[in-house]
Amino acid sequence: MPSTRMLFLCSIQSLNRACKQATKVVFLRSIRTYLEETNVQLGASYNIGQKATQKYNEGLKAAADFINADVSEIVIGPSTTQLFANLSQSFALCFPPSAEIIVSSIDHEANISSWVRLAKIRNLTLKWWTPSSSPSDLKLTAANLRPLLSDKTKLVTCTHTSNILGSIHDIRAIADEVHKVEGAMLCVDGVAFAPHREVNVEALGVDFYSFSWYKVYGPHIAALYASSSAQTHVSSLGHYFHTPATTLSTKLGLAASSYELVSTIPTLLSYFGSSASARKETWAAIAAHEETLQTILLDYLNSREDVTVYSERSADKALRVPVISFSVRGKSSSEIVEAVDGMSDFGIRWGHFYSKRLVDQLLVPGDEGVVRVSMRKK
């Protein structure tokens, strides 16, 4: 299906970057060093205990710095799915029966199922935020959210970038619209955005934001941010004697963060630069490089009358990241992927990628879903 020339030009990247990133040797050494030298319980007064606590705290601080948050505003957990589940459970007694929750229908299930379950348990009103019925226009905006908001809205959830569509949503504008309703909060899934662009939670104006470190060259753990003001609505899930619970980690962590993996985060972040200016240069270079890659692929796909590219067809780096999904008339998605498997070492995939509601309801109903190509600067 893709021409030999197009595949060659894209060959400098793996084409399944939305899956786990290749881990560098230095990262593996960091894990080994922690396990060999400081693998003890945190908080002890003896020397090794102090070193272990220091390494963990340095990891937590680096994680907060990565998204411009305070350490008290983040928690590390095994996955974004688990962290959103913990967050929803903490809300269980905080929302009145009359409350309304607005949930984006184009999200990964991680940022859907917990809120659907919460609405069912608490008998809350659940509103679905579907930006359009057209597969070519599936962008979440403040304008298409506005009709769903009411004075009963307590929570709005959405994705920063769909892991199927790749379109970048204007989260700041959405946050401003949500906050026009007194007491309403915004919860954002940033998993598909964080590997491609810098995340600044303060600038975004979000109440909650989560992403997975394994998308950003790291281990299979995740981070959840909750602003200090939003945390007043978060009930602690921790032990009764952890009072007052003054940090998000105390409230939602449940001792679920792997110490040795958290301790690697400073090493991982060194890739992006040692200063704020260096990191900005790195992110700018990543965006420019990815724009080149997605231009090659999108130019080819858009030139074919038998190909449907879902949502954003432009390669403009301000509009999308290089997560591109499509289908081919007369061909099954698995057929396309297997053809590429047979002619190359490129890793692309077919399926719904845990955005099953989006794929089934708005794109390609059925078992095979879409073909997805996802690229990332190494």
pLDDT digits (tens, 9 = 90+) for 104-122: 999 999 999 999 999 999 9
Determine contact, residues 196/175, Cβ cutoff 8 Å: no
Q: Which of 192-201, 257-266, 269-278, 331-340 has the lowest mean pLDDT?
A: 269-278
What is the average per-residue pLDDT within 305-322?
A: 96
pLDDT grade, residue 11 (50/70/90)? very low
- pTM of the full structure: 0.93
Whether residue 12 is predicted with pLDDT greater than 50 in this model: the reply is: no
Is 22's pLDDT higher than 60? Answer: no
Residue 21's pLDDT is 43
pLDDT at 7: 38
Using the predicted structure, report yes or no on whether residue 37 has a pLDDT greater than 50. Answer: yes
Report the pLDDT value the prediction gives residue 186, as an integer from 0 to 100. Answer: 98
Distance CA 140, CA 142 (A): 7
Per-residue pLDDT at 271 exceeds 90: no
User: Residue 24: what pLDDT?
Assistant: 65
Percent of the chain whose pLDDT exceeds 90 = 80
Q: What is the arithmetic mean of pLDDT over 156-184?
A: 98
Instruction: Quote the pLDDT of residue 18.
Output: 52
Q: Identify the pLDDT of residue 377.
A: 65
pLDDT for 270 equals: 84
Joined together, the tokens standing for residue 145 give 């959210």
pLDDT-above-70 percentage for the chain:
93
Given a cut of 80, whether residue 17 has pLDDT beyond it is no
The pLDDT score that the predictor gives to residue 28 is: 86
Which residues does residue 284 pair with via DSSP β-bridges, in sequence order? none
Phi, psi (rounded to 5 degrees) for 119: -60, -40
Averaged pLDDT of the chain: 91
* Angle at CA of residue 8, ends 5 and 10, nearest 5°: 110
Is 50 exceeded by the pLDDT of residue 88?
Answer: yes
pLDDT score of 230 more than 80: yes
